[in-house]
Structure 1
Amino acid sequence: MDSDDKRIEDQLSHPILLSDRLRSAVLEAHSFKTECAEVAKQVDRLAQMLRIAVRFATATPAVYERPIRRVVAEVSKNFERALTLVRKCKHQSALRRVMAITSVTDFRKLFNLLDASVGDMKWLLTIFECNGGGIVLSLPPIASNDPIIAWVWSSIASIQMGQLPDRIEGTNELASLAADNERNKNIIVEEGGIPPLLKLLKEGPSPEAKIAAIKALYTLANDTNRVSTIVQEHGVPIIVQALANSPMLVQTQAASLVARMTMHDPLAQEDFARENVIRPLVVTLLSFETFMDEMCRQSIHSIVQINRNLEKKTLDKTMEQNPNAKTNALSNMEGGIRAGNSRKERGNERPEVKHKLKITCAEALWLLAKGSVSNSRRICETKGLLCMAKMVEKEEGELQMNCLMCITEITAAAESNADLRRAAFKTNSPAAKAVVDQMLRLINDLDDPALQIPAIRSIGSLARTFPARETRVIGPLVVKLGSRHVDVAAEAAISLGKFVCPENFLCMEHSRTVIEFNGVPLVLKLLRENEKSQMYGVILLCYLALHAGSSEIVDQARVLTVLEGADRTMITLHPELKELVGKAISHLNLYHAGMGIHSKGHLGLP
């Protein structure tokens, strides 16, 4: 059986049994009696320490086992070496004494090893005697080549076995070690640092304790493997519970942790969704008074009731699969109710605390929506989309950007999923109208590429939701084809391409609208920019040629000549465009051939 699979009492009892055998072997020694007697003294001292360790381990409810197992395994190894050496000193025949040569040097090496074990056991008992209270700064010999391991052990022992002040101190020390480098983070995880941090987050009686635990977990959660460890240790429901049921300062840190874990591990994104983390995030945003009068005149009570109904549906579906789902879901529902009833308490918080909470909640929702149709749908169902649009309108800086990026991810999900598109972006939907209005405002009124590019992208993702008469969204995109910011112009070309591509049922009508807004000259200008803008400019030009090639503007702009030139240059760089460019050229040639025949007939030529 592997030593990590044994009970800690069994692992401690093994070297104690070895010490009894060693004493018997010392009594039977006939050579090197003085050295053997010294071995017996050291072994007795270590055996006494081991018995004290057994009492501590059995009496402590949540003993931190990792350093015990490492130290005791080393002690056992040294006892086995000692037993082998002492047995060689037993009375034997002359031939056996010659074959088993023993020297004083062998005993000196053994004494050094036993001295090291004594130092290790002293250090271990110091941790137990303090009951995890405070960081032990001394180094045991076992960690002499790697002091970090001893500091990690001491910090984790404080978190797991200490009183509340010591647990907080140990957590802060662990976070400080983790912040130094990636190796320290991996050591903390390997030495079992995640479970006590999660326990402190779950059971911590004060906001300070919860915040310390979350900050330490946040520092560790910048790697897929470490995030997976947090998930495997059942950290997701604990984090969601802290987000739903805690004061605002704790909620802020918890939302940041959700965002960080989601960013680094897609499986964590799914686990958070299963634990219904979106509901407390949205409810928290909706609970701020800034938007209460504008949320379709719904009170926070009615919004929470919507979420409770959604929660009940989810609970009914998951109860059969997970017996613990009911407890987790009911806990989250209660947290949502408390969030809805805490407006008076929130009013007493400092403005900067409220603002930071909104920023972190919006960031978490953005990363939860990223690449996920189901999460995007859930955000829309909980009125999160309308909330995001209102914040884009009212806020600035990081909060506005996080909300905008969340909208961009939701619209991208809607582009790939017709059901979500029809449900969330119906023409008469207040949320859909608010989103489009704000995206157009960012495109028309601002000159900030960081805001314009996601806004343009969102409009493009919704291209299939706009009727032919909705020309107000195409005009601004056409204007941005001529933007002095090349990336903005390229994004406008990409979005317009979604309006006029064959997959869009209204591609013919949209193509004529783009041409009417004088889009062709701007596309031709875009072809003189960088490679990215050239590629998307050619794609857009091909679609316009295919769907509105009969336009005089297309003819006058010599689009055919431009595409023939592109056929010789762009195809080399982008072979995937060969078929599309070829179709556009053939279509324009066919049209011009028809025009030529018509002209000849009109002039009376044969």
Structure 2
Amino acid sequence: MAEHCPIARGFREENVIRPLVTLLSFDLSMDDPKLKFGKQSIHSIVHKEMEMKNLYNTRLVSSSSSFHYSEGSSKGGTNRKDRENEKPEVKIGLKISCAEALWMLAKESVPNSKRITDTKGLLCLAKLVETEEGELQYNCLMTITEITAAAESNADLRRAIFKTNSPAAKAVVDQLLRVIKDSDNPRLSVAAVRAIGSLARTFPARETRVIGPLVEQLSHRNQDVAIEAAISLGKFACPDNFLCVEHSKSIIEFRGVPPIMRLLRGNERAQLHGLILVCYLAIHAGKSDDLERAGVLNAFEGVERAIIAQHHKLRELIPQAIYHLSVFHQSHSGMLAQRPFLAPLILG
């Protein structure tokens, strides 16, 4: 319902999110301190909320699953014994469905993303990304990706959920970075890279541990992953990011310029996002010798007019980048007058 009808994402009175998180967290090790808050675990928190919402007699069906909530049960309204006796394939099937439902509910929805985090669902999702594989891992990762996208679009949600000292935020970032570094599955890599990019404005200047792995992905053999890395790094280096100068310098220090220049030889999408990123670097860190050695000014000259004509953003950024590079590198003095392609861009 949530996938095919945006209106269905507005569940309020029914509050389907808490029982979904409860089922998703079933069988997770409660010995993990990350899954406990004071003396309460995820289970105790969500079960208490379920009792308050009077969600008894609600059946959640997944394939042949007989999991259900039974009224009058002495265990928080849930027949845990039936769940524990289910076959492993049924348990995993239910969790896959729960994670997919949360993914669809979180999609383009700030309220639902907040509800998931209010149930401590972020920690549960991070734990499953760490311990599971296949569709369950992917669905959990995509739910995280949607929550981070919501946080990117909503400053209040971003500040509330992804504080630097938040255990949930740290657990999520740790798992995203682990996937980026270790996964050989492009589908997972793209999702993790995208999620880190959505959080770009939450990282302080000293938090360079996220920049290095993203720069490495610029050289990924799968071009979709490389392009996604360029897009994410662009969110660190863009003017909307208060720390754009510091992040731009970090990208260059991590040897990001050479792989960006290789993107400019890729398909149109690779060229577009490679150009946007290298423009940001030139504007905010134009003094870097790496940019000069890489021949960024020459690269701008080789950009096809058609690409610039199709993308208004490039028409704004390229002249600014050329200006900063030419000002800070005296060896380029007079170059603009000599090159008929660059001069019109500067002059508008």
TM range (shorter): 0.7 to 0.9
Q: Say if 2:245 is the partner of 1:508.
A: yes
Q: Say if 2:26 is the partner of 1:279.
A: no
Which residue identity is paired with 1:278?
I
Q: Which runs of 5+ in 1 are unaligned?
A: 1-260, 313-328, 598-606
Assess if the C-alpha contact under 8 Å between 2:237 and 2:281 holds in 1: yes
Summarize the Cα distance change of 1:463–1:306 in structure 2 as closer, same or farther, 3 Å threshold.
farther
Matches within 5 A, 1:337-356: 341-356=78-93
How big is the shift at 1:301?
5.3
Assess if the C-alpha contact under 8 Å between 1:524 and 1:537 holds in 2: yes
Assess if the C-alpha contact under 8 Å between 1:500 and 1:507 holds in 2: yes
**SS, match of residue 390 in structure 1:** helix
Give the ranges of 4+ consecutive aligned residues of structure 1 lying more than 4 Å apart after TM superposition: 332-341, 593-597
Quote the residue 1:384 is aligned against.
Answer: 121
Summarize the Cα distance change of 1:290–1:302 in structure 2 as closer, same or farther, 3 Å threshold.
closer
> Aligned equivalents of 2:298 and 2:12: distance in 1?
53
Summarize the Cα distance change of 1:488–1:555 in structure 2 as closer, same or farther, 3 Å threshold.
same
Summarize the Cα distance change of 1:462–1:332 in structure 2 as closer, same or farther, 3 Å threshold.
farther
How big is the shift at 1:436?
0.8
Deviations 1:507-555 (A, max 9, x none): 0000000000110011001111111111000000000000000111111
How big is the shift at 1:420?
0.9
> Aligned equivalents of 1:342 and 1:582: distance in 2?
66
Assess if the C-alpha contact under 8 Å between 2:42 and 2:119 holds in 1: no
Assess if the C-alpha contact under 8 Å between 1:304 and 1:340 holds in 2: no
Quote the residue 1:307 is aligned against.
Answer: 49
Q: Say if 2:149 is the partner of 1:425.
A: no
**SS, match of residue 28 in structure 2:** helix
> Aligned equivalents of 1:529 and 1:596: distance in 2?
30
Which residue identity is paired with 1:265?
C
Quote the residue 2:226 is aligned against.
Answer: 489
Quote the residue 2:31 is aligned against.
Answer: 293
Assess if the C-alpha contact under 8 Å between 1:443 and 1:476 holds in 2: yes
**SS, match of residue 241 in structure 2:** coil
Larger radius of gyration: 1
Which residue identity is paired with 1:471?
T
Q: Say if 2:318 is the partner of 1:581.
A: yes
Deviations 1:361-391 (A, max 9, x none): 0000000000000000000010111111110
> Aligned equivalents of 1:560 and 1:442: distance in 2?
35
Quote the residue 1:408 is aligned against.
Answer: 145
How big is the shift at 1:567?
6.8
Deviations 1:441-460 (A, max 9, x none): 11111111011000000000
Q: Say if 2:292 is the partner of 1:550.
A: no
How big is the shift at 1:565?
2.8
> Aligned equivalents of 1:281 and 1:498: distance in 2?
32
Assess if the C-alpha contact under 8 Å between 2:56 and 2:77 holds in 1: no
Which residue identity is paired with 2:7?
L
Assess if the C-alpha contact under 8 Å between 1:300 and 1:340 holds in 2: no
Assess if the C-alpha contact under 8 Å between 2:99 and 2:140 holds in 1: yes
Summarize the Cα distance change of 1:429–1:342 in structure 2 as closer, same or farther, 3 Å threshold.
farther
How big is the shift at 1:300?
5.2
**SS, match of residue 289 in structure 1:** coil
Assess if the C-alpha contact under 8 Å between 1:306 and 1:382 holds in 2: no
Assess if the C-alpha contact under 8 Å between 1:474 and 1:513 holds in 2: yes
Assess if the C-alpha contact under 8 Å between 1:526 and 1:533 holds in 2: yes
Q: Which has the higher contact order (CA 8 A, sep 6+)?
A: 2
Which residue identity is paired with 1:279?
R
Quote the residue 2:200 is aligned against.
Answer: 463
> Aligned equivalents of 1:306 and 1:432: distance in 2?
24
**SS, match of residue 428 in structure 1:** coil
Quote the residue 1:398 is aligned against.
Answer: 135
Summarize the Cα distance change of 1:284–1:519 in structure 2 as closer, same or farther, 3 Å threshold.
same
Summarize the Cα distance change of 1:565–1:368 in structure 2 as closer, same or farther, 3 Å threshold.
same
Aligned-residue RMSD, C-alpha: 2.4
Assess if the C-alpha contact under 8 Å between 1:501 and 1:543 holds in 2: yes
Q: Which runs of 5+ in 2 are unaligned?
A: 59-68, 335-348
- The normalised TM-score by structure 2 is 0.85
Assess if the C-alpha contact under 8 Å between 2:22 and 2:43 holds in 1: no
Summarize the Cα distance change of 1:351–1:339 in structure 2 as closer, same or farther, 3 Å threshold.
farther
Which residue identity is paired with 1:291?
S
Q: Say if 2:296 is the partner of 1:562.
A: no
Count of aligned residue pairs for this structure pair: 317
Summarize the Cα distance change of 1:301–1:580 in structure 2 as closer, same or farther, 3 Å threshold.
closer
> Aligned equivalents of 1:457 and 1:552: distance in 2?
29
**SS, match of residue 263 in structure 1:** coil
**SS, match of residue 522 in structure 1:** helix
Summarize the Cα distance change of 1:469–1:263 in structure 2 as closer, same or farther, 3 Å threshold.
same
**SS, match of residue 262 in structure 1:** coil
Assess if the C-alpha contact under 8 Å between 1:564 and 1:585 holds in 2: no
Percent identical: 62
- Mean Cα deviation higher: 494-503 or 418-427: 418-427
Deviations 1:420-477 (A, max 9, x none): 1111111111111111111111111111101100000000000011111111111011
**SS, match of residue 30 in structure 2:** helix
> Aligned equivalents of 1:418 and 1:499: distance in 2?
16
Deviations 1:65-84 (A, max 9, x none): xxxxxxxxxxxxxxxxxxxx
Q: Greater helix percent: which structure?
A: 1
Assess if the C-alpha contact under 8 Å between 1:283 and 1:340 holds in 2: no
**SS, match of residue 421 in structure 1:** helix
**SS, match of residue 427 in structure 1:** coil
Quote the residue 1:131 is aligned against.
Answer: none
